[in-house]
Structure 1
Amino acid sequence: MIRISPRLAAVAAVVVLAPAVTGCGINAIPTKEEAAKARWADVQSQYQRRADLIPNLVSTVQGAAVQERTTLTQVIEARARATSVQVTPETLNDPQAFQRFQAAQGELSQALSRLLMVTENYPQLQSNQNFLALQSQLEGTENRIAVARRDYNEAVRDYNTTLRVFPTAIWAGTIHSGSRPMQAFTATEAAQTAPNVNFDALNPATPPPAAAPGSAPPASPAPAAPAQ
């Protein structure tokens, strides 16, 4: 009778069970978690690209529309808040931190929308090649942000589902018990409301022309008849 040492038996068991364990999805959770973190890095990269473009945009607009100080200040302050709120891959499962990040970025999006709407009232900006280039880059960046957020949400959905379905839910409750669901982007109330810009404030009513020299002044309206 051949005797097998306990160590050799353990090694043989690992060799035999490894394919079965792998087939049960033991590696699916960390693999999909890392994929979601990679998509998050893409989101942050696009938000940073937008933040880097804003100072040049503000400087260009400021030179042609100095009276838009309030709108420009709102953009500057919103950018400062957006860049100060950080969410790292390690805190993607923190709902409060994620909501603060999303709210700050949404506020900046709204401020930029107001600024770009206001600039439409300045023909000199519409012919400024630097402004047009910055506007085009910002629009392209907003599109990239939308794509990056969509891809991140899909990766998060896949990862979060893996934590709940069989058989990977077994590993989520045992070997990978420290894994937690990640937060996904959602539509904010502000994102569903178009920014309100009052162009009347930029175009005050034109005063009536002055009477030509030597002409009679315009007639005053007749007084209203007294009530009977």
Structure 2
Amino acid sequence: MPTLRYRLPSGLLALLFLTTLLSGCGINNIPRYDEQVKSAWSQVENQYQRRADLIPNLVETVQGFARQERETLREVTEARSRATSIQISAEDLDDPEKMRQFEQAQAQLTGALSRLMAVSERYPELRSNENFLALQSQLEGTENRIAVARRDYVQAVERYNTEIRTFPGRIWHGILYSDMPLRENFEATTANADQAPQVQFE
């Protein structure tokens, strides 16, 4: 019995070959890395929001023990308000001025929190309060999460920018993705920004 042979049309064969060739040459890397940048930024915002959510309870707890520290409590509350009022969407990631404003507001909040934590040194009864200790622990964990989220964002931006500036991504960027610019990255906006805020009370 003769064997039946099926032949694919030459156009379909060419399309399959072209699809295989293009899928292995990095044509999709730029949009994939762009999505990773946006996802990493969402994690940065998520951790900053977590910190902002902890602050009202922290302020209320400190206020219960140290009402005379009104100025410090007011600074923290105002810094939190400024920090949460600046929202950066995925479309804003390419705007250096908005990124700078966001970073400065977060840095001001970090500084205000550090001053608030220093206040506790003068109030032993506050330092031994269970609610305060739990909030302190959560804040420390959140600061660590912020650092990790920022690191992941920096790495995602580096990967994306490198893809756009090197072969073959540079070619695909010029042909297909020219509307996707290089991304801005975090920059230190305060003195000693390379040092983590001190939030432990030993």
Normalised by the length of structure 2, the TM-score is 0.88
1:82-107 per-residue CA deviation (whole Å, 9 max, x = no partner) reads 00001111211111111111111111
Unaligned runs of 5+ in 2: 1-7, 198-202
- How far, CA to CA, are the matches of 2:11 and 2:195 in structure 1? 63
Flag the structure with more relative contact order, 1 or 2, with Cα contacts below 8 A and sequence separation at least 6: 2
**Aligned position for 2:163:** 162
- Select the structure that is richer in helix: 2
- How far, CA to CA, are the matches of 2:29 and 2:195 in structure 1? 39
Deviation (angstroms), 1:14: 2.4
- How far, CA to CA, are the matches of 1:177 and 1:21 in structure 2? 18
- How far, CA to CA, are the matches of 2:41 and 2:183 in structure 1? 11
Asked if 1 retains the 8 angstrom alpha-carbon contact of 2:107 and 2:190, the reply is no
What are the within-5 Å matches in structure 2 for residues 95-174 of structure 1?
Answer: 95-174=96-175
**Aligned position for 2:81:** 80
Q: Which amino acid aligns with 1:27?
A: N
Corresponding residue SS for 2:82: helix
Structure 1 residues 159, 62: closer, same or farther in 2, change over 3 A?
A: same
Structure 1 residues 143, 171: closer, same or farther in 2, change over 3 A?
A: same
- How far, CA to CA, are the matches of 1:108 and 1:178 in structure 2? 35
Q: Which amino acid aligns with 1:39?
A: A
How many pairs does the alignment contain?
Answer: 188
Structure 1 residues 68, 192: closer, same or farther in 2, change over 3 A?
A: farther
Q: Which amino acid aligns with 1:138?
A: L
Q: Which amino acid aligns with 1:174?
A: I
Please state if 1:62 is matched with 2:69: no
Deviation (angstroms), 1:36: 1.3
- How far, CA to CA, are the matches of 2:116 and 2:62 in structure 1? 9
**Aligned position for 1:175:** 176
**Aligned position for 1:19:** 20
Normalised by the length of structure 1, the TM-score is 0.78
Corresponding residue SS for 1:72: helix
> Equivalent pairs: percent with the same residue?
57
Corresponding residue SS for 2:165: coil
Asked if 1 retains the 8 angstrom alpha-carbon contact of 2:104 and 2:190, the reply is no
Deviation (angstroms), 1:167: 0.6
- How far, CA to CA, are the matches of 1:118 and 1:109 in structure 2? 15
User: Which structure's CA Rg is the greater one?
Assistant: 1
Q: Which amino acid aligns with 2:34?
A: E
Deviation (angstroms), 1:15: 1.8
Deviation (angstroms), 1:140: 0.6
User: Post-superposition, which runs of at least 4 consecutive aligned residues in structure 1 deviate over 4 A?
Assistant: 8-11, 192-195
Asked if 1 retains the 8 angstrom alpha-carbon contact of 2:86 and 2:102, the reply is yes
Structure 1 residues 97, 127: closer, same or farther in 2, change over 3 A?
A: same
Unaligned runs of 5+ in 1: 1-7, 196-228
- How far, CA to CA, are the matches of 1:194 and 1:14 in structure 2? 54
- How far, CA to CA, are the matches of 2:99 and 2:12 in structure 1? 45
